[in-house]
Structure 1
Protein backbone atom coordinates (compact mmCIF):
# COMPACT_ATOMS: atom_id res chain seq x y z
CA UNK A 1 0.00 0.00 0.00
CA UNK A 2 1.96 3.04 -1.23
CA UNK A 3 1.18 6.72 -0.67
CA UNK A 4 -2.29 7.53 0.70
CA UNK A 5 -3.76 10.92 -0.19
CA UNK A 6 -6.43 11.32 2.50
CA UNK A 7 -6.39 11.19 6.28
CA UNK A 8 -8.31 8.49 8.08
CA UNK A 9 -10.79 10.11 10.44
CA UNK A 10 -10.83 6.93 12.54
CA UNK A 11 -7.30 6.10 13.60
CA UNK A 12 -6.18 2.58 14.33
CA UNK A 13 -5.48 1.78 17.96
CA UNK A 14 -1.96 1.77 19.37
CA UNK A 15 -2.31 -1.98 19.76
CA UNK A 16 -3.08 -2.34 16.04
CA UNK A 17 -0.04 -0.22 15.15
CA UNK A 18 2.21 -2.17 17.52
CA UNK A 19 1.05 -5.42 15.86
CA UNK A 20 1.85 -4.27 12.30
CA UNK A 21 3.82 -6.66 10.15
CA UNK A 22 6.46 -5.24 7.81
CA UNK A 23 7.35 -1.65 7.03
CA UNK A 24 5.03 1.31 7.56
CA UNK A 25 4.99 5.08 7.79
CA UNK A 26 2.43 6.51 10.19
CA UNK A 27 1.64 10.12 9.24
CA UNK A 28 -0.07 12.46 11.69
CA UNK A 29 -1.68 15.71 10.53
CA UNK A 30 -4.87 17.24 9.15
CA UNK A 31 -6.18 18.18 5.75
CA UNK A 32 -6.34 21.88 6.64
CA UNK A 33 -2.78 22.13 8.01
CA UNK A 34 -0.58 24.24 5.71
CA UNK A 35 2.59 22.39 6.73
CA UNK A 36 0.85 19.08 5.96
CA UNK A 37 -0.33 20.30 2.57
CA UNK A 38 3.14 21.52 1.59
CA UNK A 39 4.69 18.19 2.63
CA UNK A 40 2.33 16.01 0.56
CA UNK A 41 4.31 16.10 -2.71
CA UNK A 42 7.46 15.18 -0.77
CA UNK A 43 5.74 12.32 1.02
CA UNK A 44 4.22 11.05 -2.21
CA UNK A 45 7.61 11.22 -3.94
CA UNK A 46 9.26 9.23 -1.13
CA UNK A 47 6.54 6.61 -0.62
CA UNK A 48 4.98 6.37 -4.08
CA UNK A 49 7.50 3.90 -5.48
CA UNK A 50 7.66 1.88 -2.24
CA UNK A 51 4.92 -0.70 -2.51
CA UNK A 52 6.52 -2.53 0.43
CA UNK A 53 5.84 0.35 2.84
CA UNK A 54 2.32 0.85 4.18
CA UNK A 55 1.33 4.51 4.49
CA UNK A 56 -1.10 5.07 7.35
CA UNK A 57 -2.29 8.66 7.31
CA UNK A 58 -4.36 9.61 10.34
CA UNK A 59 -6.07 12.81 11.33
CA UNK A 60 -4.60 14.11 14.57
CA UNK A 61 -5.70 16.65 17.13
CA UNK A 62 -6.75 17.14 20.74
CA UNK A 63 -8.21 14.04 22.29
CA UNK A 64 -6.75 11.73 19.63
CA UNK A 65 -5.01 9.01 21.64
CA UNK A 66 -2.80 7.57 18.88
CA UNK A 67 -0.97 10.84 18.30
CA UNK A 68 -0.57 11.37 22.03
CA UNK A 69 0.86 7.86 22.46
CA UNK A 70 3.59 8.80 19.97
CA UNK A 71 4.21 12.21 21.56
CA UNK A 72 3.17 14.12 18.43
CA UNK A 73 3.43 17.88 18.90
CA UNK A 74 3.77 19.27 15.35
CA UNK A 75 2.22 18.33 12.01
CA UNK A 76 3.03 16.57 9.90
CA UNK A 77 4.90 14.02 11.95
CA UNK A 78 5.88 10.84 10.12
CA UNK A 79 6.79 7.84 12.25
CA UNK A 80 8.73 5.14 10.38
CA UNK A 81 7.92 1.68 11.69
CA UNK A 82 9.34 -1.81 11.23
CA UNK A 83 7.21 -4.59 12.71
CA UNK A 84 5.22 -1.98 14.65
CA UNK A 85 8.31 -0.50 16.31
CA UNK A 86 9.49 3.06 15.70
CA UNK A 87 12.76 3.25 13.78
CA UNK A 88 12.92 7.01 13.21
CA UNK A 89 10.66 9.98 12.57
CA UNK A 90 10.45 13.14 10.50
CA UNK A 91 8.73 16.27 11.70
CA UNK A 92 7.77 18.88 9.11
CA UNK A 93 10.09 17.67 6.35
CA UNK A 94 11.30 20.66 4.34
CA UNK A 95 12.59 18.90 1.23
CA UNK A 96 12.86 15.53 -0.49
CA UNK A 97 16.39 15.05 0.86
CA UNK A 98 14.98 14.78 4.40
CA UNK A 99 13.46 11.42 3.48
CA UNK A 100 16.69 9.70 2.41
CA UNK A 101 18.10 9.05 5.91
CA UNK A 102 14.67 8.06 7.23
CA UNK A 103 14.09 5.56 4.41
CA UNK A 104 17.62 4.22 4.86
CA UNK A 105 17.01 3.77 8.59
CA UNK A 106 13.74 1.99 7.83
CA UNK A 107 15.42 -0.36 5.37
CA UNK A 108 18.41 -1.13 7.59
CA UNK A 109 16.63 -1.48 10.93
CA UNK A 110 16.78 -4.98 12.38
CA UNK A 111 13.51 -6.87 12.38
CA UNK A 112 11.86 -7.06 15.80
CA UNK A 113 12.22 -10.43 17.39
Structure 2
Protein backbone atom coordinates (compact mmCIF):
# COMPACT_ATOMS: atom_id res chain seq x y z
CA UNK A 1 0.00 0.00 0.00
CA UNK A 2 1.37 3.44 -0.79
CA UNK A 3 1.91 6.15 1.79
CA UNK A 4 -0.96 8.62 2.17
CA UNK A 5 -0.60 12.31 2.85
CA UNK A 6 -2.86 12.94 5.83
CA UNK A 7 -4.54 16.32 6.20
CA UNK A 8 -7.31 17.57 8.45
CA UNK A 9 -9.61 17.19 5.40
CA UNK A 10 -9.00 13.43 4.93
CA UNK A 11 -8.13 12.47 8.54
CA UNK A 12 -11.63 11.26 9.45
CA UNK A 13 -11.98 9.02 6.38
CA UNK A 14 -8.42 7.67 6.22
CA UNK A 15 -7.56 7.33 9.93
CA UNK A 16 -10.60 7.40 12.23
CA UNK A 17 -12.76 5.21 9.96
CA UNK A 18 -9.95 2.83 8.93
CA UNK A 19 -10.60 -0.92 9.32
CA UNK A 20 -6.89 -1.64 9.78
CA UNK A 21 -4.18 -0.16 12.01
CA UNK A 22 -2.82 3.20 10.84
CA UNK A 23 0.80 4.30 11.29
CA UNK A 24 1.13 8.08 11.23
CA UNK A 25 4.51 9.74 10.73
CA UNK A 26 4.55 13.38 11.89
CA UNK A 27 7.46 15.05 10.07
CA UNK A 28 8.85 18.24 8.51
CA UNK A 29 11.13 18.78 5.51
CA UNK A 30 13.78 20.59 7.61
CA UNK A 31 14.05 17.75 10.17
CA UNK A 32 17.14 15.53 9.78
CA UNK A 33 15.87 12.57 11.86
CA UNK A 34 12.57 12.75 9.90
CA UNK A 35 14.52 12.27 6.66
CA UNK A 36 16.17 9.19 8.20
CA UNK A 37 12.85 7.65 9.26
CA UNK A 38 10.95 8.47 6.06
CA UNK A 39 12.40 5.68 3.83
CA UNK A 40 11.80 3.16 6.63
CA UNK A 41 8.16 4.25 6.90
CA UNK A 42 7.86 3.98 3.09
CA UNK A 43 9.24 0.40 3.25
CA UNK A 44 6.74 -0.56 5.95
CA UNK A 45 3.92 0.78 3.76
CA UNK A 46 5.08 -1.28 0.76
CA UNK A 47 5.64 -4.50 2.73
CA UNK A 48 2.49 -4.50 4.91
CA UNK A 49 -0.81 -4.51 3.03
CA UNK A 50 -2.72 -4.86 6.33
CA UNK A 51 -1.43 -1.53 7.68
CA UNK A 52 -2.34 1.94 6.41
CA UNK A 53 0.57 4.38 6.52
CA UNK A 54 0.16 8.15 6.48
CA UNK A 55 2.49 11.10 6.76
CA UNK A 56 1.52 14.37 8.42
CA UNK A 57 3.62 17.42 7.56
CA UNK A 58 3.57 19.38 10.84
CA UNK A 59 4.29 22.69 9.09
CA UNK A 60 1.24 22.30 6.83
CA UNK A 61 -1.02 20.50 9.33
CA UNK A 62 -0.43 22.36 12.58
CA UNK A 63 -3.98 21.62 13.76
CA UNK A 64 -3.45 17.83 13.51
CA UNK A 65 -0.03 18.08 15.16
CA UNK A 66 -1.60 20.02 18.04
CA UNK A 67 -4.45 17.50 18.30
CA UNK A 68 -1.85 14.75 18.90
CA UNK A 69 0.27 16.92 21.19
CA UNK A 70 3.28 16.61 18.89
CA UNK A 71 6.14 18.60 20.47
CA UNK A 72 9.11 16.87 18.82
CA UNK A 73 9.50 15.19 15.45
CA UNK A 74 9.59 12.64 14.11
CA UNK A 75 6.64 11.36 16.10
CA UNK A 76 5.16 8.00 15.13
CA UNK A 77 1.62 7.18 16.19
CA UNK A 78 -0.32 3.93 15.73
CA UNK A 79 -4.12 4.30 15.59
CA UNK A 80 -6.45 1.32 16.04
CA UNK A 81 -10.20 1.73 15.95
CA UNK A 82 -9.86 5.51 15.93
CA UNK A 83 -7.82 5.53 19.17
CA UNK A 84 -4.09 5.95 19.84
CA UNK A 85 -2.65 2.48 20.47
CA UNK A 86 1.03 3.39 20.51
CA UNK A 87 3.24 6.46 20.21
CA UNK A 88 7.00 7.08 19.94
CA UNK A 89 9.13 10.19 19.53
CA UNK A 90 12.45 10.25 17.66
CA UNK A 91 14.08 8.17 14.95
CA UNK A 92 13.58 4.44 15.39
CA UNK A 93 14.93 1.38 13.56
CA UNK A 94 12.49 -0.54 11.37
CA UNK A 95 12.13 -3.44 13.82
CA UNK A 96 11.12 -1.07 16.61
CA UNK A 97 8.53 0.65 14.40
CA UNK A 98 7.11 -2.73 13.33
CA UNK A 99 6.87 -3.82 16.98
CA UNK A 100 4.66 -0.75 17.63
CA UNK A 101 2.12 -2.18 15.19
Superposition TM-score tier, normalisation by shorter sequence: 0.7 to 0.9
1:7-60 Cα distance to aligned partner (Å, 9 max, x none)? 84x712597143333211111111232111011232233332111111111110
Unaligned residue ranges in structure 1 (runs of 5+): 104-113
CA distance in 1, matches of 2:53, 2:59: 19
Q: Report the counterpart of residue 22 of structure 2 in structure 1.
A: 24
Unpaired runs of 5+ in structure 2?
A: none
Does the 8 Å contact 1:14/1:66 carry over to 2? Answer: no
Counting only pairs closer than 5 Å after superposition, residues 59-98 of structure 1 correspond to structure 2 as 59-61=57-59, 64-98=62-96
How much is the aligned-residue C-alpha RMSD, in angstroms?
2.6
In structure 2, the partner of 1:11 is 7
Give the secondary structure class of the aligned counterpart of 1:48.
helix
* Residues 1:15 and 1:100: Cα distance change in structure 2 (over 3 Å): closer
TM-score by length of 2: 0.77
Structure 2 CA distance, aligned partners of 1:72 and 1:87?
15
Q: In the aligned structure 2, how far is the partner of 1:33 from the partner of 1:15?
A: 23
In terms of mean alpha carbon deviation, does 15-24 or 27-36 score higher? Answer: 15-24
Aligned residue-pair number:
99
